[in-house]
Amino acid sequence: MKRAGIINVTGYVGAELARLLWRHPEVRLTSVTGRSGAGKPLAEVFPHLAPLGLTIGEELNSVDVVFSALPHGASAQAVAPLIEAGLPVIDHSADFRLRDVDDYESWYGRKHPAPHLLPDAVYGMPELHRDEVAKAQVVAVPGCYPSSAIPALAPALRAGLIEHDVIIDSKSGVSGAGRTLDLKRHYSEANESVLAYGLEGHFHLAEITQELSRLCEAPAPRITFIPHLVPMTRGILSTCYAPLAPGRVSPGNRARSEVREIYSEFYRNEPFIRVVDSPPQTKQAWGSNYCLLYPTVDLRAGRLVVVSCLDNLVKGAAGQAIQDMNLMLGFPETAGLEDLAVYP
């Protein structure tokens, strides 16, 4: 068994990593850290994790693989010495997602804490970068919104099916913003209410643009991405729209089956992407590592429409991180991730 450690187990992503690793056949979680929780039994902070029998430390003990679930900035600082010491690191923050340090510094409004480590980091979306992830020492787990939006648009851009003018309309449950308290996420503010935010440019647009641009010829796609907060705990549903490129599909209803065929073919061998037969809902992904995609065509407007949904804490974070770890350590890609969604 390999020994895994989690830096910052006390957030939602850290806790979800611990839950998923509990059932991993090849890896044992042996060390967890947290700032405010240091010195406490993990069971005191998260009673549902009591069977792990761990105590939260200030530093990791000796481990074979490290997950960081710290916020951006703090994460690169914490993992840099571990990377330099040769440990495989899987990072949930945005610190290693963007190839271009200037992009990072302008989007995140801070100096990158370890720019020398960026060239070797790999964007951890196995469906696009499987071979690179398998060889990487540092993997950046994609953001939760990008984890739903990029798979929704990748096949269409790769096939030249759409014009490079895309709208991504995403809805997220409140756990997407983490456990740290703020007024927007108080029950009485968020319940029975829907909020659009980030209209002037949400951070995740940077990585969505980076990854989608790599899939097609220039010009880079123009992307409008608008996230919404909806009153549920977990889940992201993204509806993505783009005009069909002229002459790429047959007229009429056949367009729909041709588009489905392109998506089914693109994801034919993917264990965690399912092209489904009817528009999916977030509950169908709850607790699972699946991303569900429903591509169709708005025949009146000549537009591709793709509905994508996943659990932000699993395929949008901890599950995808474990999928990356499986590739990095040479385990079956699906190890520890076979559970179906919890329903209803």
Residues making contact with ligand NAP (CB under 6 A)? 8, 10-14, 34-36, 69-72, 74, 92-93, 143-144, 175-176, 178-180, 312-313, 316-317
The H-or-E segment that residue 3 falls in is strand 2-7
| Distance of closest approach, residue 269 Cβ to ligand NAP, in angstroms | 25
Least gap, CB of 234 to ligand NAP (angstroms): 8
Phi-psi region of 73 (alpha: psi -120 to 50; beta: other; left: phi over 0): left
Residues 6+ apart with CB under 8 A from 246: none
Helix, strand, coil distribution of the chain in percent, nearest 5: 35, 20, 40
HSE at residue 196, side-chain half, CA atoms within 13 A, is 8
The CB-of-46 to ligand NAP minimum distance in angstroms stands at 11
- 240 in active site: no
Q: Would you say 92 or 164 has its CB closer to ligand NAP?
A: 92
Neighbouring residues of 262: CB distance < 8 A, sequence distance ≥ 6: 155, 156, 159, 161, 295
Quick one: tokens of 298?
């708005």
Number of H helices, E strands in the chain: 10, 14
Q: CB-wise, 92 or 274, nearer to ligand NAP? A: 92
With beta carbons less than 8 A apart as the criterion, state whether 70 and 7 touch. Answer: yes
**259 neighbors 158 (Cβ within 8 angstroms):** no
Q: How far is the CB of 33 from ligand NAP (least distance, A)?
A: 9
Beta carbon of residue 312, minimum distance to ligand NAP (angstroms, whole number): 4
* Cα(49)–Cα(268) distance, integer angstroms: 36
- Sequence-distant (≥ 6) Cβ neighbours of residue 284 within 8 angstroms: 276, 292, 309, 341, 343
Nearer to ligand NAP, 6 or 262 (CB): 6
Distances 328 to 69, 186, 275, 316 between C-alpha atoms, Å: 18, 39, 26, 18
Q: How far is the CB of 48 from ligand NAP (least distance, A)?
A: 15
Asked whether 172 and 144 are in contact (CB, 8 A), the reply is yes
* Catalytic residue chosen out of the listed positions 144, 240, 291, 309: 144
Which tokens hold the place of 69? 């679930």
Identity of the residue, 10 or 209, whose beta carbon is nearer to ligand NAP in the bound complex: 10
Could you list the active site residues?
144
